[in-house]
């Protein structure tokens, strides 16, 4: 099996590291890297001993014809790259699947039309704490209905307030919490209500001053 990793940033390198480990068990034959940044490509290629790399995803597709690809690029590019690749390979797309609902629906429609697999990297489902929680919830559900779940997630925030590729905390973090709840309860929401507040990061502001 030949797998292409599109994007060699932080998450892309994580995939490369894990796939190289899997290659040692002879379940993957070859890895191919794709990233528009040639300098990063060469560095990652050298670090993990991967001979083939490309700066253009279309050229990679034509020359290498991989069996599957991992899309680990900024969310706003997921849809564009998925459309290029889905006609000839299965995909693992980092969460969220896309930046808009319409894009997500179209990715699913294309996958169904082409008879391709699309998986989304909701890794928190496999967090040992979440799997243990699910086991306990199943016991609780047998005794009655769950009426309320409260979650809080704290992260370092966007890489930069001026980042052109960063969308929102909902795309970056809240998508994990929504998927966790759906996974725990085994049902989809029937209604969604949301609101937001803007607050000053005093600790960060103080540090800057």
Domain identity same for 109 and 169: no
Quick one: 130 and 115 in the same domain? Answer: no
Question: Where among 76, 95, 121 does a domain terminate?
Answer: 121
pTM of the model: 0.83
Name the least confident of 12-16, 46-50, 61-65, 164-168.
164-168
Boundaries of domain holding 71: 2-121
Structure tokens at 157: 């925030």
Q: Which of 36-40, 59-63, 168-172, 175-179 has the lowest mean pLDDT?
A: 168-172
Could you give the percent of the chain with pLDDT greater than 90?
58
| pLDDT score, position 47 | 96
Do 133 and 155 belong to one domain?
A: yes
Q: What is the mean pLDDT of residues 91-103?
A: 95
Same domain for 104 and 149, yes or no, is no
- 99 in the same domain as 9: yes
Strands (E), 36-105: 52-54, 68-71, 90-94
- The pLDDT score that the predictor gives to residue 164 is 64
C-alpha distance from residue 29 to each of 86, 121, 124 (Å): 21, 22, 28
Give the range among 89-93, 157-161, 193-197 with minimum mean pLDDT.
Answer: 157-161
Same domain? For 20 and 79 the reply is yes
Which of 121, 155, 184 is the last residue before a domain boundary? 121
- Is residue 77 within 8 Å of 49, Cβ to Cβ? no
Q: Which of 86, 121, 156 is the last residue of a domain?
A: 121
Residues 135 and 117 in one domain: no
CA angle 165, 110, 187 (to 5 degrees): 80
Cβ-contact 176, 122 below 8 angstroms: yes
Are 31 and 5 within 8 A, CB to CB?
yes
For residues 24 and 71, which has the higher predicted lDDT (pLDDT)? 71
In this structure, are 117 and 130 located in the same domain?
no
**135 and 113 share one domain:** no
- Using the predicted structure, report yes or no on whether residue 6 has a pLDDT greater than 70: yes
Per the structure, the count of domains in the chain is: 2
**Are 146 and 185 in the same domain?**
yes
Mean pLDDT of 114-131: 94
């Amino acid at each position: 099996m030949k797998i292409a990793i599109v994007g060699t940033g932080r998450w892309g390198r994580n995939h490369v590291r894990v796939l190289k480990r899997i290659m040692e068990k002879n379940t993957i034959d070859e890895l191919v890297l794709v990233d528009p940044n040639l300098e990063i490509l060469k560095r990652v290629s050298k670090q993990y001993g991967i001979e083939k790399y490309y700066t253009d995803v279309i050229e990679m597709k034509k020359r290498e014809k991989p069996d599957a690809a991992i899309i680990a690029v900024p969310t706003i590019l997921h849809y564009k790259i998925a459309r290029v690749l889905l006609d000839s390979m299965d995909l693992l797309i980092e969460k969220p699947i896309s930046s808009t609902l319409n894009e997500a629906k179209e990715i699913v429609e294309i996958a169904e039309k082409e008879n391709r697999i699309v998986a989304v990297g909701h890794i928190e489902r496999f967090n040992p704490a979440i799997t243990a929680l699910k086991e306990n919830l199943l016991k609780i559900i047998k005794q009655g209905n769950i009426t309320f779940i409260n979650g809080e997630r704290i992260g370092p925030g966007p890489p930069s307030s001026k980042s052109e590729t960063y969308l929102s905390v909902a795309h970056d973090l809240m998508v994990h919490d929504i998927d966790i709840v759906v996974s725990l309860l085994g049902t989809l929401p029937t209604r969604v209500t949301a609101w937001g507040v803007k607050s000053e990061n005093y600790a960060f502001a103080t540090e800057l001053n």
